[in-house]
Chains A and B, each alone.
Chain A
Amino acid sequence: MKTFNYHSTKDVKEATKLASSSSAFLAGGMTTLPSMKLGLASYKDIIDIKRIKKLSGIKVSGKTVTIGATTKHAEVAHSKEVKKAIPSLAALAEGIGDPQVRNRGTIGGSIANNDPSADYPSACIALNATIHTNNRKVSAEKFFTGMFETSLKKGELIEAVEFQVPEKSCYKKYPNPASRYAIVGVYVAKHKSAVNVAVTGAKSCVYNDENISGALSKSFSSSALDNVKISSSGMNSDVHASADYRANMVKIFAKKAVEAC
């Protein structure tokens, strides 16, 4: 690991002021530290945001669940309020990686990183999330822009993620047996106005599958998907799963999710 300056910050202002083109915010460090150790990334300044009180915590109102950026996966998984308002979101958090990862990794770090196989991005899309940063609010749809890419500007800090409480919802994933990231993850959420079907793991970036959500909007049942065709074009292919397999699993896991809603 290359040497760097470590800054422990107390408020958002201090953190964002320190940010530059050669800095990184440090939340759980579950992605940042391994990539630094492997020599894949190096920074002049590491800005630790874990001590900024405002960034952590869970707030539930009637229609929304707002989770602070540095809230750990384990906290979301075990939160009684989240379990009551959006049980599928708590279940998603419980299914991330392993206990060590859940006890360090944060929701802000996860969505800022936007790993194509990460779980939270699908929740953001399915649950019409709004991402609160230090200077704006962005819809999830506009936030995730590509593989490991988001619309965050340099030095912009995520403060919280606000999820819309759906009528019903379920997230089902087929975990990569090695890393336990999603090979395919499908988050189905039925809102009053529409059905969202967010898919992660399958392509270079999370997306809303309009074929599936279209079919479910007409009839919210797994048999509604029987005749939906999922194309494998643009799907990931690696040692764990081919594009074909992923395409098939998108449908299978969408059905499983609908059945479990």
Chain B
Amino acid sequence: MASLVGSRVERKEDKKLLTGRGKYTADVTFAHQTYAYFVRSPHARAQLKNVDISKAQKASGVVAVLTGKDIANDKIGGLIAGWRIKSEDGSDMKVPAHPPLANESVNYVGDHVAVVIAESLDEARNAAELVKVDYKILKAVVKTDKAMDSESIYKDIPKNLCFDWLLGDRAKTQEAFDKADKIIKIDLINNRLIPNAMEPRAANADYNPSTEEITLYTTSQNPHLARIIISAFNGVAPENKLRVIAPDVGGGFGSKIYPYAEEVVCSWASKKIERPVKWVADRTESFLSDCHGRDHVTHAELAVKNDGTFLGFKNETIANLGAYASVFGTVTPTYLFGPCATGVYKMPAAYSNVKAVFTNTAPVDAYRGAGRPEATYTIETLVEKAARELGMDPAEIRMKNFPTEFPFQQTLVHSVDSGDYNAGLKKAMEVGDYKGFEARKKESESKGKLRGVGFCSYFEACGIAPSAVVMSLGCGIGLWESAEVRFNPTGNVTVFTGSHSHGQGHDTTFAQIAADRLGVPLENIEISHGDTDKGPFGYGTYGSRSLTVGGTAIVKACDKIVAKGKKVAAKMLEVNESDVEFKDGEFIVAKSNQKKTIGEVAFACYLPGTYGEVKSPLPEGEEPGLKETSFFDPGNFSFPAGSHICEVEVDPDTGNTEVVKYTAVDDFGTIINPLIVEGQVHGGLAQGIGQALYENCHYDDTGQLVTASYMDYTMPRADNFPEFNLGFTCTPATSNPLGTKGCGEAGAIAAPPAVMNAVMNAVGTEVSMPATAEKVWKACQKMNKSNSKAA
């Protein structure tokens, strides 16, 4: 049987998803359904003086109106920060209380004030207008770089500073800088983004008073985490009385990893009114209240020798956490950012200092790449600038500083198990025809356009592990993954994974792995996920972890199945277990034609005895059934890497910038399904190019979100992209038996610096993200590069 690993199997889930047969949270409606509408703060910062619900309570169709007082009276816990970060001085981070419904103050536009529950959504919405809230409006803190100099939002958090974190050695870094021939400096803004999953967040909680059980349907990347948080921290129901189901979920990009106020409130309210409570965000609510991404202000320096050798790196960053510390809000700008900030290079000394601040904006949390795009943008902008200032080719300076021996102990934290960065960059230059750039530039010039080329070489650390290490760094959860492989009596298989698919294609990739391992046809394998009542506890999908961690758990569970199968087969074949080999779904007695298929063995496990034709005695002491569980905690992260080369064309008269050629060569270790991996790269590139050229979350000085709809927030569209040229190199990971590395975030990590370096190369001066037409036009004016033909 040919191995399925490496083959372009079409996604099993697409038929359902593309024909409208997916089942999303909003599709779930219970008998006696009620509908929730949230009263949200229109102000960025205000004291809640009074919330008068009397009129709303009397409105048509209203079942209940609940406020922060009610939730406090019921002792429902607040939303949590999942990762405890310590400051350089050893002190714990400072976080404000984050009640699911505000009690004393509101701290961003969209913050939750009250919930109106009614027989219909229209009635809930109309009654919400009758909730009279008396706000004392306070001056909002909005700008990332001004937060520390502004009035404290929370009285016990001076300077709005959550923590002041350091990784690395300042003194050693300074020594390196003292020896430098040249110091390259940059100031960067990593623009704030709004995740914009295609499916808006939603929750539908159904409390059954007779069993006291809540079933919560929700748009989650991680239903198990939602369950443990809502039960252990919010205290809504004990874990055994809370079932969380994340059915089909239409994208998350990090914004759906953890539960929000709405899930907590719907679950609690359902228990209170003893009816199901459904909430589905409208698009405006998504813009206002989904956690945002990025939002860093960075000063960084690179110490170099005249021959281009890197000596040291400094990174001083202010990271905006928004109004509250969200679940992964504090780890994103620290352990996911700092260690990767030295990039893919040998860097003798370095440090990353991050000051995380609170502002009156929506909370900021992990968004595709989470910390690593920010790190990569910083170092790759610096490296390109160093090449420019030293008069070196951007590829040459990179290759000069690539490590060539693996495992490679990276400066700040990681021991990178495998890689070949030179091979990746060389291949990218080949695939992208770097040699031909000058000719293409001339051609663009003949049309009155400026053409630029930009590089990005990146590595990233994903599939966070092992649990013991990350917990010692302040992580409040483990990061292993589970799998249960269950043979059904008739020989087909259901695989339960603790990870969750919301676009990644688990149903296909995971089935390929199990099919290979068990020798069972792909169509006989079903992947099940997203329901805490089915399969073991797990940690969901984010951080490019599912295949390396969750896929490995499947492999291990399959291996256990085969081990048991061997014993059963030996008994059935009346030979010694050591004489039985397993290959392509068959247990074979060596040097004979005696064999049992894995299906026959499974059947025997479920019918252990003799009954007419059926003769399937189990070995002595063996339990019936064929089902195995595995929990896999990897020994290390996985470290995908690659080189991307972008070419842009700029119209100097308008500043309009187009990506005209994009080459991505990535090393994701072993690739199970190239079709899916290419799709992941395409999606990541779209978001990365989106960040570089189009997307920008903009709050005005009073904290109003200006870009709160698609009329103002520029989502990139298909016509904004060229065909992508993809290529791959492969150095298998050593930390998992599949040899795979995460692929989901690479595009979003590598694209912003590749694009911005190309823009810089075209216009000859720095432009900040997103490089809108006006910014690029101004840069062209500054450099006097208007198109003589039209000017």
Interface residues, chain A, CB within 8 Å of chain B?
A: 1-3, 38, 174, 176-179, 181, 222, 226, 239-242, 245, 248-249, 252, 255-256, 259
Contacts and interface: CB of A to CB of B under 8 A. Distances in A.
Given A240-B772, A252-B654, A178 B710 contact: yes
Nearest to B720: A177
A241 B776 CA distance: 12
Interface in B276-294: 284
Interface in B685-732: 694, 696, 698, 706-707, 710-715
A249 B654 contact: yes
Given A1-B122, A38-B284, A252-B654, A178 B713 contact: yes
A241 B774 contact: yes
Nearest to B773: A174
B653 interface: yes
B710 A252 contact: no
Contact of B714 (A1, A177, A256): A177
A252 B653 contact: yes
Contacts of A245: 773-774, 777-778
Nearest to A183: B773
A51 B772 CA distance: 43
Interface of B: 122, 126, 284, 653-654, 656, 694, 696, 698, 706-707, 710-715, 772-774, 777-778, 790-791
A174 B656 CA distance: 9
Interface centre among A2, A178, A222 (most CB of B within 10 A): A178
Given A239-B706, A240-B772, A245-B777, A222 B790 contact: yes
A242 B774 contact: yes
16 contacts: A3-B122, A174-B773, A177-B714, A177-B772, A178-B714, A179-B710, A179-B711, A179-B712, A239-B696, A240-B712, A245-B777, A245-B778, A248-B777, A252-B653, A255-B790, A256-B790
B723 to A, nearest CB: 21
Nearest to B774: A245
Top 10 nearest A-B pairs (CB, nearest first) are A178-B714, A179-B711, A245-B774, A177-B714, A252-B653, A239-B698, A241-B774, A255-B790, A239-B706, A178-B712
B284 A177 contact: no
B712 A239 contact: yes
A252 B654 CA distance: 8
Contacts of A181: 711
Contact of A177 (B126, B694, B777, B778): B694
Q: Which of A2, A177, A242, A245 is most buried by chain B, counting CB atoms within 10 A of its CB?
A: A177
A79 B714 CA distance: 31
Contacts of A179: 710-712
Contact of A178 (B711, B774, B778): B711
Contacts of B713: 178
A239 B653 contact: no
B790 A259 contact: yes
A129 to B, nearest CB: 27
A239 B711 CA distance: 11
A132 to B, nearest CB: 31
Contacts of A259: 790
Interface residues of A: mostly helix, strand, loop or mixed? loop
A222 B791 CA distance: 9
Contacts of B707: 239
Nearest to B698: A239
Nearest to A242: B774
B767 to A, nearest CB: 14
Contacts of B126: 2
Given A38-B284, A178-B711, A252-B654, 12 more contacts: A174-B656, A177-B694, A177-B714, A177-B772, A179-B710, A222-B790, A239-B706, A240-B772, A245-B777, A248-B777, A249-B654, A252-B790
B191 to A, nearest CB: 12
A147 to B, nearest CB: 16
Contacts of B790: 222, 252, 255-256, 259
A252 B773 CA distance: 13
A248 B791 CA distance: 11
Nearest to B781: A248
Nearest to A245: B774
Nearest to A177: B714
A42 B773 CA distance: 37
A245 to B, nearest CB: 4
B783 to A, nearest CB: 16
Contacts of A255: 790
B285 to A, nearest CB: 12
Nearest to B693: A177
Contacts of A1: 122
Nearest to A98: B717
A108 to B, nearest CB: 22
B221 to A, nearest CB: 27
Contacts of B698: 239
Contacts of B714: 177-178
Nearest to B694: A177
A245 B774 CA distance: 6
A226 B791 CA distance: 7
A167 B86 CA distance: 73
Contacts of B778: 245
Nearest to B656: A174
A159 B740 CA distance: 64
Nearest to A174: B654
A141 B524 CA distance: 70
A248 B777 CA distance: 10
A181 B707 CA distance: 15
A212 B521 CA distance: 71
Contacts of A252: 653-654, 790
B731 to A, nearest CB: 39
Nearest to B714: A178
A178 B126 CA distance: 30
A259 B712 CA distance: 31
A178 B712 CA distance: 6
A38 B125 CA distance: 11
Nearest to A248: B777
A192 B710 CA distance: 42
Q: Which of A1, A222, A252, A255 has the most CB of B within 10 A?
A: A252
A68 B778 CA distance: 43
Contacts of A256: 790
Nearest to A117: B711
Nearest to B770: A177
A94 to B, nearest CB: 13
Most buried by A among B284, B713, B715, B790: B790
Nearest to B787: A252
Nearest to A256: B790
A202 to B, nearest CB: 14
Nearest to A226: B791
A119 B777 CA distance: 23
Nearest to A259: B790
Nearest to B707: A239
Contacts of A3: 122
A255 B773 CA distance: 18
Contacts of A174: 654, 656, 773
B689 to A, nearest CB: 12
Nearest to A3: B122
A200 B778 CA distance: 22
Contacts of A222: 790
Contacts of B654: 174, 249, 252
A236 to B, nearest CB: 13
A3 B126 CA distance: 11
A174 B777 CA distance: 13
A96 to B, nearest CB: 14
B720 to A, nearest CB: 8
A257 to B, nearest CB: 11
A216 to B, nearest CB: 15
Nearest to B710: A178
A226 B788 CA distance: 11
Contacts of B773: 174, 177, 241, 245
A252 B780 CA distance: 14
A260 B772 CA distance: 25
Nearest to B791: A226
